[in-house]
Structure 1
Amino acid sequence: MAGHDITRAAEALRLVQVSKTYGTGENPVRALDDVSVSLAPGTFTAIMGPSGSGKSTFLQCAAGLDQPTAGRVFIDGAELTGGSETALTKFRRQRIGFIFQQFNLLPTLTVLQNVTLPLRLAGKRADRKRAVAILERVGLGERINHRPAELSGGQQQRVAIARALVTNPSAIFADEPTGALDSRSARTVLSLLAEAVREFGQTVVMVTHDPVAASYADSVIFLADGRIAGSLDRPTAEGVAERMTHLGDAVALHAAVGE
């Protein structure tokens, strides 16, 4: 895992009045509605909200996987919005790490080859020694020549974490990273993400529906109806669950009265 980078900007991630609308005509869906967020480097933030609240859209726009309809996105002080798809792809490869629910490992590559793939895609020399060191940190030093099919789900997700860390990104975006794992494997993965933040200054933004997963973060940002509906610092699973219950009730009430 990487050390601190002294050239990093004061904000790892900044969204300025970001909106995202899907569809046109009479019934467009406003998935994000004027969202502004600023996250400092070396923080672990969970994004939560009821179904349809805009969590996934938030992550896609913040990570440059989708362009917002309006607003601006900055990662490490550099603007992510408004460029060509080629420029955006290059930016993502250089500055962003991804961890997905379904691991997204290439089955024909070994563990080590999967981890060094982002470096090769970015046109950089794959630092085998560093990749092996990261795999050792996530407990897979003995598995570098295995294929993904030879690993458990939890081990595959640890490979994905190593792959996200290998480029020393400005931000790591995790989309339901424990959604396909049993509770023990989930705890291991969440502890590794927290360690990457605490010990190595990484910035992690995680979408989750699980209050226990959110309790590993430094803070939680809640979304409802595409807007920010509050935040919680030093979250506990109980506190997050209670807040989510209130949010769900409020969303149901709005729907019932036609707001």
Structure 2
Amino acid sequence: MAGYDTSRAAQALRLVGVSKTYGSGENPVRALDGVSVSLAAGTFTAIMGPSGSGKSTLLQCAAGLDQPTEGRVFIDGSELTGGSETALTKFRRQRVGFIFQQFNLLPALTVMQNVALPLRLAGKKVDRKQCRSILEKVGLGDRTNHRPAELSGGQQQRVAIARALVTNPSVIFADEPTGALDTRSARSVLTLLAGAVREFGQTVVMVTHDPVAASYADSVVFLADGQMVGTLAHPTAEAVAERMTHLGDEVSLRRVVGA
């Protein structure tokens, strides 16, 4: 695994007044409403909120998978502009890693081939030694020639983590990465993500609904009704759960103050 790139920007991710509206006419849906947040490089941030709060939309806009209706997004100091899809795809392949709930591994490829795929897509030379080193670090050094169907769910997600790490991206976005796993496997995956941050300076942004998962992060950003309604540093599962129960009250208070 490559070490921390000290030439990177101090802020790995910055959103400035980001809004996203779906549809038009009489009933548009405003999924995000003026969200501004800055996340330092080498940090692990959890994004939390009730269903429909805008968590997934925030991740998609921040990662360049969707274009915000308003606002600006910066990754590693470079703005995600409204250029061509080809340019945006190239940017994502160079700067962004993804981990999904359902792993998204290609079943016909071996573990090694799945991990090397981002390098091939980016037109980079595949360093099998580097890929093997990453697989060893996630505990799969003896599974390089296996296919996804021959692995457990937790092992498949560890392959997905290795695949996200292989290009040494500026930011890794994880969308409910433990949602399909049992408790033991989930704990293992979260420990790996936290280790990637602390040992190698990676930056991880994780959407989750689970207070226990959020407790592995350095901080939590809370969303409600498409707005950022608070943060929590050094979270515990208990503190996160308590904060989640009062998000509705915070939204109501903001509306009264803003009225």
Same-fold call, TM cutoff 0.5 = yes
* Matched residue, 2:163: 163
1:93-112 mapped onto 2 (5 Å cutoff): 93-112=93-112
Distance 1:186 1:81 in 2: 35
Q: What amino acid is aligned across from residue 204 of structure 1 in structure 2?
A: V
Distance 2:254 2:24 in 1: 23
User: Secondary structure, in 3 states, of the residue corresponding to 1:72?
Assistant: strand
Q: Deviations over 1:231-258 (max 9, x none)?
A: 0000000000000011146669999xxx
Q: Deviations over 1:196-227 (max 9, x none)?
A: 00000000000000000000000000000000
Q: 1:81 Cα shift?
A: 2.7
Q: 1:10 Cα shift?
A: 1.5
- RMSD between aligned residues: 1.6
User: Secondary structure, in 3 states, of the residue corresponding to 2:11?
Assistant: coil
Is residue 115 of structure 1 aligned with residue 115 of structure 2? yes
User: Secondary structure, in 3 states, of the residue corresponding to 1:106?
Assistant: coil
User: Secondary structure, in 3 states, of the residue corresponding to 1:136?
Assistant: helix
Distance 1:73 1:148 in 2: 34
* Matched residue, 2:58: 58
1:210-225 mapped onto 2 (5 Å cutoff): 210-225=210-225
Moved over 3 A (4+): 248-255
Is residue 233 of structure 1 aligned with residue 230 of structure 2? no
* Matched residue, 2:133: 133
User: Secondary structure, in 3 states, of the residue corresponding to 2:102?
Assistant: coil
Q: 1:2 Cα shift?
A: 2.0
In the superposition, the TM-score normalised over structure 1's length comes to 0.96
1:44/1:203 contact within 8 Å kept: yes
* Matched residue, 1:244: 244
Q: 1:4 Cα shift?
A: 1.1
Which consecutive unaligned segments of at least 5 residues does structure 1 have?
none
Q: 1:141 Cα shift?
A: 0.3
1:50/1:248 contact within 8 Å kept: no
* Matched residue, 2:19: 19
User: Secondary structure, in 3 states, of the residue corresponding to 1:178?
Assistant: coil
Identity within the alignment, %: 84
Q: What amino acid is aligned across from residue 54 of structure 2 in structure 1?
A: G
Q: How many residues align?
A: 256
2:4/2:200 contact within 8 Å kept: yes
